[in-house]
């Protein structure tokens, strides 16, 4: 009995002698788990000024700048390092939002995220703080929404997920698109197909309407994509090209931008619009026609590397007569005229201002 009592003292006394209550205040803007709270109060037990044991994380309530009384997480520490479970809670509740396990300050094993009703939202697997293994996401009815596989924190393998059209399956290798991408509607019809090799598109990308007709196709050749889109009846809608651009840093697919002539047609086959792009920015003459082939708008634009800079624009009536002209400084109309009964009438500042606003709010359509 004396030996047992002495053993308990050896175990308990160090904690009772050295573990003391401690409180820290931290800025969490750069913390991936707690950045949303910005500032938190941490209440724990400490040994040698290091957290040891369970730490409670509190944030401010909405009615006070100084009172930290909402528990948002609990974290298990050992000698100042996360070791054990970390639980994050929904705001002002005791319901768990996420639970993950740490080993020497790194995420290991399973991380589970929940909805507010405690149903599982996501299950991920970590290894040394990186996603590594299968990740499954669920909707609010507990139906599988997506399944993906990670290796060294990057998508690697198939990613299967649901869209408003149906089910999409993408192939990945080391975080980059690799292999076939196929989208299948609920009725079994394909709505998308493409193929990549190390992020580079290597065959035509096709999208299909519900009736099975081709919606658009982009074909790669020599770093150029030639793209065609179609109406549901099969008539040509638009035709343009895009060129490959270099993007610094991580990108799962190569990026392309419109370059050269861009032509679009009305459903009856009449030319609707013709314009030109230079490195993704509209440049030069832009003509818009009605379904009968009459010119209704003509613009001239310069490329300033950020957005199309207008120099002038002309508007026409249904008979092809010029009715308005505008001249610009950047995207601001600074001069203009209207034409009525053969008379050229100078526009006032209010009219120019209204047209400037219409240009800003103009929806780009083809």
**For position 242, what pLDDT does the model report?**
95
Residue with tokens 């792009």: 277
**For position 307, what pLDDT does the model report?**
55
346 CB contacts (<8 Å, ≥6 apart)? Answer: 336, 337
The DSSP-derived string for 40-89 is EEEEEEEETTEE-EEEEEEEE-TT-SS-EEEEEEEEEEETTEEEEEEEEE
**For position 41, what pLDDT does the model report?**
87
As a whole number of angstroms, the distance between CA 254 and CA 19 comes to 55
Query: Can you give the pTM of this predicted structure?
Result: 0.77
As a whole number of angstroms, the distance between CA 201 and CA 160 comes to 19
The residue count of the chain comes to: 366
**For position 36, what pLDDT does the model report?**
67
Per-residue confidence in pLDDT tens, the chain, 366 aa: 434 333 333 344 444 456 788 888 888 777 777 666 677 888 889 988 888 999 998 887 766 666 777 888 999 999 989 999 999 999 878 899 999 999 999 999 999 999 999 999 999 999 999 999 999 999 999 999 999 999 999 999 999 999 989 999 999 999 999 999 999 999 999 999 999 999 999 999 999 999 999 999 999 999 999 999 999 999 999 999 999 987 665 578 888 999 999 999 999 999 999 999 988 888 889 999 999 999 999 998 876 555 557 789 999 998 889 999 999 888 889 999 999 988 999 999 999 999 988 877 665 555
**For position 308, what pLDDT does the model report?**
59
As a whole number of angstroms, the distance between CA 103 and CA 126 comes to 11
Cα dihedral 32, 33, 37, 41 sign? negative
What's the burial of 299, exposed, middle or buried (CB within 10 Å: 0-12/13-18/19+)?
Answer: buried
Q: Locate the domains of the chain by residue range.
A: 18-104, 259-366
As a whole number of angstroms, the distance between CA 77 and CA 93 comes to 23
**For position 366, what pLDDT does the model report?**
57
**For position 94, what pLDDT does the model report?**
86
Tell me the chain's radius of gyration from C-alpha atoms: 31
What's the burial of 329, exposed, middle or buried (CB within 10 Å: 0-12/13-18/19+)?
Answer: exposed
**For position 18, what pLDDT does the model report?**
63
Residue with tokens 């994380």: 57
| DSSP one-letter code for 210 | T
**For position 4, what pLDDT does the model report?**
38
**For position 309, what pLDDT does the model report?**
72
């Amino acid at each position: 009995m004396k030996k047992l009592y002495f053993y308990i003292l050896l175990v308990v006394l160090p904690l009772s002698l050295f573990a003391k209550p401690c409180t820290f205040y931290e800025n969490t803007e750069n913390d991936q788990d707690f950045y949303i709270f910005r500032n938190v109060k941490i209440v724990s037990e400490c040994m040698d000024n290091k957290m040891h044991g369970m730490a409670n994380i509190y944030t401010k309530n909405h009615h006070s700048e100084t009172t930290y009384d909402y528990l948002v997480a609990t974290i298990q520490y050992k000698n100042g390092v996360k070791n054990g479970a970390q639980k994050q809670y929904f705001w002002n509740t005791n319901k768990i939002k996420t639970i993950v396990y740490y080993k020497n300050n790194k995420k290991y094993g399973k991380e589970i995220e929940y909805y507010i009703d405690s149903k599982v939202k996501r299950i991920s697997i970590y290894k040394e703080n990186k996603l590594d293994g299968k990740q499954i996401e669920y909707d609010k009815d507990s139906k599988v929404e997506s399944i993906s596989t990670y290796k060294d924190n990057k998508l690697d393998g198939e990613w299967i997920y649901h869209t408003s059209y149906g089910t999409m399956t993408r192939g990945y290798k080391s975080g980059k698109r690799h292999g076939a991408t196929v989208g299948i509607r609920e009725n079994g019809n394909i709505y998308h197909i493409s193929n990549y090799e190390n992020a580079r598109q290597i065959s035509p990308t096709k999208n299909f309407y519900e009736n099975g007709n081709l919606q658009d196709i982009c074909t790669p050749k020599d770093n150029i994509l030639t793209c065609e889109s179609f109406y549901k009846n099969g008539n040509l809608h638009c035709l343009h090209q895009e060129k490959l651009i270099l993007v610094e840093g991580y990108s799962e697919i190569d990026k392309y931008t419109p370059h050269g002539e861009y032509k679009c047609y009305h459903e009856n086959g009449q030319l609707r619009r013709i314009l030109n792009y230079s490195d993704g920015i509209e440049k030069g003459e832009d003509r818009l026609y009605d379904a009968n082939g009459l010119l209704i708008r003509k613009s001239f634009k310069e490329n300033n590397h950020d957005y199309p800079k207008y120099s002038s624009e002309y508007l026409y009536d249904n008979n092809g007569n010029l009715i308005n002209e505008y001249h610009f400084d950047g995207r601001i109309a600074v001069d203009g005229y209207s034409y009525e009964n053969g008379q050229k009438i100078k526009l006032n500042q209010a009219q120019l201002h209204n047209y400037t606003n219409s240009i800003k709010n103009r929806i780009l359509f083809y």
